[in-house]
Every structure is written in structure tokens, then in C-alpha cells.
Amino acid sequence: MIDIKFLRENPDVVRQNIKNKFQDQKLPLVDQAIELDKRNREIKQEVEGIRAQKNKLSKQIGSLMKEGKRDEAKAVKEQVTANASREQELSEEEKDVEEKLKKVMMVIPNIIDPSVPIGKDDSENVENERFGEPVVPDFEIPYHTDIMESFDGIDLDAARRVAGNGFYYLMGDIARLHSAVLSYARDFMINKGFTYCVPPFMIRSAVVDGVMSFDEMDAMMYKIEGEDLYLIGTSEHSMIGKFIDTITDEDKLPLTLTSYSPCFRKEKGAHGIEERGIYRIHQFEKQEMIVVCKPEESMDWYNKLWKYTVELFRSMDIPVRTLECCSGDLADLKVKSCDVEAWSPRQKKYFEVGSCSNLGDAQARRLHIRIRGEHGNYLAHTLNNTVVAPPRMLIAFLENNLQADGSVKIPEVLWPYMGGTKVLIPKHKVEKKD
């Protein structure tokens, strides 16, 4: 959510930003916000005038009564009553106007960074840089669930019976590998100086409203029936929510947290063949990182965060690239964002395994996350980035570390988390499925 003062003083900038995000249907919201803001300030000014006059009239009544001018005193009393009635009317209107203004402002997208490429949707995202050489081996790489089944490592049929489509059982070596990657990612981020956190897996609507747009919420989150609680779709939501309605001393910044959590998502929409299996699912686990910092430091942190993810994946012999999200692909609260994509030798292309975002002060404004500085309080900047999100990440891991004999090599960084195991040996061959 942008600052109403900024919108008031720069309406054309806000309109152009809306156009850059290809959301022209939101252009009328700028004028609506300006009119509501104008009326809100008029109400406040009139209320202040009434309250200032209240003491003056009270003293006047006292003086008139002492002078025996009862009729004149009565007239002034009637004015006081009328003013009180008017103040009540204005207070009710003020509440209504402020609620309408808030709803409008929460739909107007945040101002994107000048470096963001202009594009309509994700098809116009721009590749930034590649890390590691993408390799296509001279043997066929099976679909990821076929690889897992060769280790007796997955049971989708049982999961469907228990929970329906979009769920899974991971078993044996594959389940252990899943946990090993998360444990390694946890320690990787702790070694970068981040504080480890296990957050709540449910959040209240006030936090949901603060961390994401309405469209995102509807597409992603599961609501707990009969309670003001939502299952988290990603752990940065509850981690950012940790700082709701707080004021932090400037000398304690930056606040850097890394968290483990399960995540739950509706994942609406049709899914292609490459998104079956464990690519797009309703439940997964994740290691995340968030930063709360000074505004002038947020872009430096943005570049540090995505580089941490690249470093992590490269340490496991997985080639990756970064993809700059264009204006039309940015969620409304984001100032700048990039995806980290891993190489799939099976598909011979990259696919998303993480996302890094700078949200400026948008979340802080909604959640009232403030910093106490030398010259007063100000809003923090917030950032988030995926460290690793298995089981999707396992797809890239298995494909890039698969050997011709069906075994999977374990990179050295994971040996301590796999009990010293250096190679996973398949239990049997699995026939290729159509």
C-alpha cells in the first residue's frame, strides 16, 4: 500500500505505474482516492474547529449565566448541542470515508522500481544471469515420480485415498533426502547470520491483509471455518507478521530471520503434464528468509538474498538462473522481484524453485511496522526469499544428480545430513509411464 500523501502529490506517477502494470481498470481508483482523501481532511478540519469552539462556548455560557443573561446563555447551549450533534455526524462519516479510502488504497499497486522491465505477464520476464553449466546427459531421464518410485520413495495412490489429489507420501531414502535438504538449508542460513525461527502455521486476517493482496489471498489460502485463522501459504507471512504493531530501535536493524514451516496452497487452475507428481501440490515444506531493514539498505539486501539461494543450489550441483520479473508479473505489493529457476535436464529448460522480493514499505504500512530513529519513527522495508522448497526442489536435485545406472549421487554438503551416504541405490527399475 502506497502513502496517501505520495498519491496526493504525485497522481500522475501513480497512474503511470498502474499502466506499467497493465491494470488500466484500476486507473479510476486514483481519482476516487483523491476525492476520499480530500473529504477526509475536510471532516477532520471541521471536527477540530468544533472541538476548539467547545471550550470557548462553555466559558461564554458561564459568563452569561453570571450576568443573568439566561436567554442568551440558553441560545449558546443550543449551539453547543447542535455542535455535538454535528460532531457525531462527522465522526460517523469520517469512519465510513476512512474505511472506503483504505479499501481503495489497498488495491492500488505499489510503485515499482525503475529497474523493473515493463511487460504484460510472465512470458516477458527477463533472464538475468546463469550459474553453472546446464547439462543434458546421454541417457534418458525418467519423470521425477518414476525416479522416486525406483527407490520406493513415493506413494501418490495412498495419498489420494487419504487426502485427495495434490498430496503425497514420501518414503525411505527420498523422505530422508527431503529432510536432509531442509536441514542443510537451515544451517546454511544460520551460517549467513540469520536467526532460525519456527513460526505459527496459521495467521489471523489482520496479518493476511498486511502481507498480501486480496487476489493472492483468494487464489492461495485456506480459511479455517468458524475462526479468524488462515493456514499459511508461505512462511514469510507469519514471520513478517511477527512484527505487526511494533516499533524497533534503529540500532537493532537489520532483523534477519530464516524459518522452517509447512505451507498450504489451493493451487487453483489447470495443471499440465509437467505439473503432476509433486510439482504443484497443496502441501509442501519450505526454508524461507526474511529481512526487516532501513529503506536505504533494502536493495542491497535484495541482491544478497537471491545470491544466497543461488549459492545453495550450486553447492548441490544444480545449475540455476535468475529471471527478473516484469511489471505485469509483479504482485501488487512488490517493488522488485526475481525468480530463481533450476535446470531440468529432462525438460531441457529451467523451472521456478524460488522467488526473491523487495516489498519496500508496503507491508510495513499495512502492519504498522515502524523503526525508532534519531529523528523520529519511520516505516521499515521488508524483503523475503525462498531458501529452498522441497519437494519441488527434489525434482531438480534428482534430475541433475541422476546417474546412468539409476543411482543418485549425494553432493558432499549433504553427506552429514544423510548419515554419510554418498550414493542412493535404486531398489528396482520402474517402467516408464505414459
How confident is residue 433, by pLDDT bands cut at 50, 70 and 90?
low
All domains of the chain, ordered by start, with CATH? 4-105 (1.10.287.40), 122-424 (3.30.930.10)
pLDDT of residue 173: 97
Q: Is the pLDDT of residue 341 over 80?
A: yes
Q: Is the pLDDT of residue 339 over 70?
A: yes
pLDDT: which is higher, 46 or 245: 245
Sequence-ordered list of residues with C-beta below 8 angstroms from that of 312, at least 6 positions apart, any chain: 185, 188, 387, 388
Distance from C-alpha of 360 to C-alpha of 206, rounded to nearest angstrom: 19
Interval 77-115: pLDDT, tens? 777 777 888 888 898 999 999 999 999 999 999 999 999
Interval 188-221: pLDDT, tens? 999 999 999 999 999 999 999 999 876 777 778 8
What is the percent of the chain with per-residue pLDDT over 70, rounded to a whole number? 95
What is the percent of the chain with per-residue pLDDT over 90, rounded to a whole number? 79
pLDDT of residue 59: 63
Distance from C-alpha of 184 to C-alpha of 418, rounded to nearest angstrom: 10
DSSP state of 321: E
382 burial level (CB within 10 Å; 0-12, 13-18, 19+) = buried
Find cell 534519531 and name the residue.
374
Q: Is the pLDDT of residue 273 over 50?
A: no
Give the relative orientation of helices 70-105 and 28-66 as an angle to the nearest 10 degrees. 160
Q: Is the pLDDT of residue 328 over 80?
A: yes
Distance from C-alpha of 242 to C-alpha of 234, rounded to nearest angstrom: 14
pLDDT of residue 430: 67
pLDDT of residue 270: 42
pLDDT of residue 274: 45
Q: Is the pLDDT of residue 384 over 80?
A: yes
pLDDT: which is higher, 21 or 266: 21
Q: Is the pLDDT of residue 70 over 80?
A: no
pLDDT of residue 220: 83
Sequence-ordered list of residues with C-beta below 8 angstroms from that of 350, at least 6 positions apart, any chain: 134, 320, 321, 323, 341, 342, 343, 344
Interval 125-161: pLDDT, tens? 999 999 999 999 999 999 999 999 999 999 999 999 9
Distance from C-alpha of 357 to C-alpha of 290, rounded to nearest angstrom: 10
pLDDT, averaged across the chain: 92
| 0.85 surpassed by pTM | yes
Residue 27, phi then psi, degrees to nearest 5: -60, -40
pLDDT of residue 65: 73
